[in-house]
Amino acid sequence: MRGTELIVVMCTVILIVAVTTAVIMGITAYTPGPEVRPLAKFYLENCLNLWNRAYWAASPEAVCSMLWDYRGIDTLYETTVFFLAIIGGVTVFRLIEVTPPLESLSEKIRRVLGLSVIVRTISKIVASIILIVAVAIAAHGHLTPGGGFQAGAAISVAPLMIIIALSRYFLEERKLTKERMLALRTVGLLTIWCTVIIPLIFALVGQVVYAMQNQAKPWTTFPGFPTGQLSTWIAGSLFIYNMAEFVAVGAGFTLLFLLLSLPEEVFREFMRRLTRK
């Protein structure tokens, strides 16, 4: 190890030890105490308060309530930024229009696509389990830890594993293409935005509402979206947000994996065409 690398390692170790010691001994001004802070107490007391529904989100999952209700506008913009990041990734690969068909690849390349039969079989089984678990995480996001983003990140592991074990051609033959993933990603984001705007439409007829209103509030005339017993069962619009985020995130990550797994021959051929020009 060179002298510079040794100094960097030693400084990193000293910093970690110093910060850990400071936190454990409680000698920093920002060390969290054992008591519950007022803001956290507000969320915990009101997210599912059956006796005082003035501030409730009808969800026992406080984190979900914070993300899509109490600070929902922030989450909305985070989702939009992630969508723009996906668009940026697609733009980088915009010159690489198509993947060469499988039959056009040489026999040598086709033989090395994917892994062994055992790995491919197990990957298919595990991918099916991942799909089921991811849907459960999204559908129960307003009841248990999880939600749309976590479920979308979880389900994207399945196509990534399939790409490694069986190659990207396995996905494309089943219509999981770049264009379809981009369309699904767009549908997910549009669903979120439509759910945001629906309460505001009622403002046009004189009702008192606010953006992303989930449950009825004493100071508004809008009863929430959706209404009735269904609103209590699915925590109002929280279920819709989670499922739409699930689709958007899962499709977005899958789209990136498809782009990043383009065969090297595609880029080589593209660079040769540019050189000829």
- For residue 131 the two structure tokens come to 């799909």
pLDDT value at residue 103: 53
pLDDT value at residue 26: 61
User: Could you state, in chain order, the average pLDDT of each consecutive group of 10 residues for the chain (277 residues)?
Assistant: 74 84 64 74 88 88 90 89 86 65 52 73 92 94 90 93 86 84 91 88 82 84 76 84 94 89 69 67
Contact 189, 79 (CB under 8 A): yes
In whole angstroms, give the CA distance from residue 1 to residue 92: 37
Q: Give the CA-trace dihedral at 230, 232, 237, 238, to 10 degrees.
A: -130
pLDDT value at residue 135: 94
Using alpha carbons, list the distances in angstroms from residue 204 to 98, 212, 226, 227.
46, 16, 18, 19
Please name every residue paired with 224 in a beta bridge, in sequence order, or none if there are none: 215
Please give the backbone phi and psi of residue 142, each rounded to the nearest 5 degrees, phi first: -90, 0
Q: Tell me how many degrees the CA angle 76-81-84 measures, rounded to the nearest 5.
A: 130
pLDDT value at residue 17: 85
Q: CB within 8 A of 67, min separation 6: which ones?
A: 75, 147
- For residue 149 the two structure tokens come to 């983003």
- Whole-model pTM above 0.85? no
CA nearest to 66, candidates 78, 57, 77: 57
pLDDT value at residue 10: 85
pLDDT value at residue 53: 85
pLDDT value at residue 101: 55
- B/e letters for 208-218, b = 16+ CB within 10 Å, e = fewer, are ebeebbbbbbe
pLDDT value at residue 137: 94
Please name every residue paired with 215 in a beta bridge, in sequence order, or none if there are none: 224
Sequential DSSP letters for the chain: --HHHHHHHHHHHHHHHHHHHHHHHT-STT---SSPPHHHHHHHHHTT-SS-TTS--S-S-HHHHIIIIITHHHHHHHHHHHHHHHHHHHHHTTT---PPPGGGS-HHHHHHSS--HHHHHHHHHHHHHHHHHHHHHHHTTTTSS--HHHHHHHHTHHHHHHHHHH-HHHHHHTT--HHHHHHHHHHHHHHHHHHHHHHHHGGGGT----TT--B--TT-S--BSS-SHHHHHTTTTHHHHHHHHHHHHHHHHHHHHHHHT--HHHHHHHHHHHHH-
